A = this chain, B = another copy of it.
Amino acid sequence: MKVTLSALDTTETFFKPLVIIELAQDVKEETRKWLEKKINDKKKNGGAQLLIRPLVENGEEQTSESKNLYLIGASTIRLLLGAESVGLVKECNDHTMRVFTYETRQNFSGFSDDNDDFLTMAECQFIIKHELENLRARDEKMIPGYPQAKLYPGKSILRRLLTSGLVTQVFPLHDKESLKKLESTWYNRFKMKYQPLDGIRAYFGETIALYFGFLEYFTLALIPMALIGLPYYVFDWEDYDKYVIFASFNLIWSTVILEVWKRGCALMTYRWGTLLMKRQFEEPRPGFHGVLGINPITGREEPLYSSFKRQLRIYLVSLPFVCLCLYFSLYVMMIYFDLETWAQDVHHDSNYPELTSFLLFLPSIVYAIVIEIMNRLYRFAAEFLTSWENHRLESAYQNHLILKVLVFNFLNCFASLFYIAFVMKDMKLLRQSLATLLITSQILNQIVETLLPYWLQRKYGLRVKKKVQALKADVDVTLYEQIILEKDMGTYLGTFDDYLELFLQFGYVSLFSCVYPLAAAFAVLNNFSEINSDALKMCKIFKRPFAEPSSNIGVWQLAFETMSVISVVTNCALIGMSPQLNAVFPDSKIDLILMVVAVEHALLALKFVLAFVIPDKPQEIQVKLAKLEFESLEALKQQHIKLVAESLKEELKEEEKKAA
């Protein structure tokens, strides 16, 4: 059992590298040694008990590039014990999912002592990240060699190293072989089939697998809408009753698919174990600062920041600022419409229509550019503001940032459409703008997001290959090349932008669906290629991201549900305004409006009832969860019955002694 031995001999140099740490260029030798010791040291001495090795061990062969790179790995036992400490949930031999413990390891399916595949590589890397982040200061008052990088008991050492810039990055390595396997079943296919979600999860972790799962589910769910929308385009249907049918179907459908997704998501995450995984106690996010004080929850000394002050910042600064930005965005939109009419007037009155015809395009182009600039500036401002709000937890920071960005992007994308629909009441222009916006944004996204970085990455890759080949050393050239290549790859910043894109697409499809039934078809086409380009992006362009366990798509579920509520309102309004329907009620516009409002309310009520009636978890999962709960209650009860018997016996003995 070679593996087990190496677990104990933590200085052994042969191990499978899982994670890379890159130090800053000029870190002092003293700090290097201290960090190496910390990572290698026994748990009881405050270390992480992991394996660490510099990329190139021979001092003479180290280049300035390679000498700051360290490989981190761990023995199999260490990983199994780590799996217990992060609370990993795995499948047992009896096909139930249970929290993994080292003691009960033999009960888990696929486990045997000489099997290294029990934990997926993504899980191993997640465990190592968790152990590194949980490497905490004991008596150290500072990072050795850097008195300004202060520590206090319980502070995460890695986080301090990252915030003080001594560690530039920590990232997990790709596994070229598994990656190739994954790629071949994922996007290098010509046949239509489902994505290998379990494979994606094993390689990239649950958060990313859930994104791809949602993308695929959403695309499939759009197909019925696209199919029903097609004849409207083909036969040029304009009857109001057909529009009403289409819109009603759309609204009910969008509610149903969002509810059904929750169920599918529960099924998937149960199988992956994250549905049962307990949330770990969240650490303060790296950027959080405050006055040292006693945390009322942990009882430890750590930076504190009054939540009242944070509320003040949110409601007195951020909220007004966001409102101002929204107002400004609307103002710019109004200028655009003014410009548009001005250009049309000029063109109309012009004596040289050939010269002025280009003027017709000018406002749209300028507006598109301005919107892009505003979006970027606002994103920057939102990040600054949310960071300034000084949230203690990363999750709170993310939620506040998402909310800010969502609201602004929603307005930026849809305000002009709302204006055309409800102020100008020009359905033809609405349809045209909607088509233009949807299609151009999809094409642009595909290019900017994937193809461009892919091309740049390939160019860079070739350069590195040449450089490595020039280097004649007896180091492990493939690994060396891989690491040098990966360390300069871009970092995947999370699923935020991908979900945002999908969210806006959902808006284009559902908000004005009764005006432009073809939108769903375009969305479906785009998403099929989006799946491939996003997959390419994950596999080729970015550094491998750390796996993040998650049991649902979080705040995005709420965002999509809100969008589907708003789309009930807009679609009812559009149908109410349609000339076809108005022709049916020529004399009684009031009755028409009242009827539309009544239908809208009924649809909204129906939506809420549907959301309430459809259970969030399938029966099957409910039974499995109840079974687990029942078992733990039973165990407690058994333990209790024993205790009752023992306690009463002891009391009896005591009484007898006293009596004697």
Contact = CB atoms under 8 A, between A and B. Distances in A.
19 contacts: A7-B648, A8-B648, A42-B645, A44-B641, A77-B651, A81-B647, A81-B648, A85-B644, A102-B643, A102-B647, A281-B629, A297-B623, A297-B626, A297-B630, A298-B630, A307-B619, A569-B601, A590-B590, A590-B593
Given A77-B647, A298-B627, 11 more contacts: A5-B655, A7-B648, A8-B652, A49-B644, A77-B651, A85-B637, A280-B633, A296-B627, A297-B630, A589-B590, A597-B597
Nearest to A626: B297
Interface residues of A, number: 48
A26 B8 CA distance: 75
Contact of A644 (B81, B298, B630, B645): B81
A567 to B, nearest CB: 14
A43 interface: yes
A297 B81 CA distance: 30
A249 B643 CA distance: 58
Contact of A594 (B593, B648, B655): B593
Contact of A648 (B77, B297, B589): B77
Contacts of A597: 593, 597
Q: How many copies does the complex hold?
A: 2
Contacts of A589: 590
Nearest to A298: B630
A84 interface: yes
Q: Is the interface of A mostly helix, strand, loop or mixed?
A: helix
A491 interface: no
A163 interface: no
Interface of A: 1, 4-5, 7-8, 42-44, 49, 77, 81, 84-85, 102-103, 280-281, 296-299, 307, 569, 589-590, 593-594, 597, 601, 619, 623, 626-627, 629-630, 633, 637, 640-641, 643-645, 647-648, 651-652, 655, 658
A77 B5 CA distance: 52
Nearest to A299: B627
Contact of A4 (B7, B43, B281, B655): B655
A102 B648 CA distance: 11
Contact of A44 (B619, B633, B645): B645
Nearest to A651: B4
A619 B643 CA distance: 37
- Ordered nearest first, which 5 A-B pairs have the shortest CB separation? A297-B626, A297-B627, A81-B644, A85-B640, A281-B633
A264 B628 CA distance: 33
B655 A623 contact: no
A569 B605 CA distance: 12
A430 to B, nearest CB: 19
Contacts of A601: 569
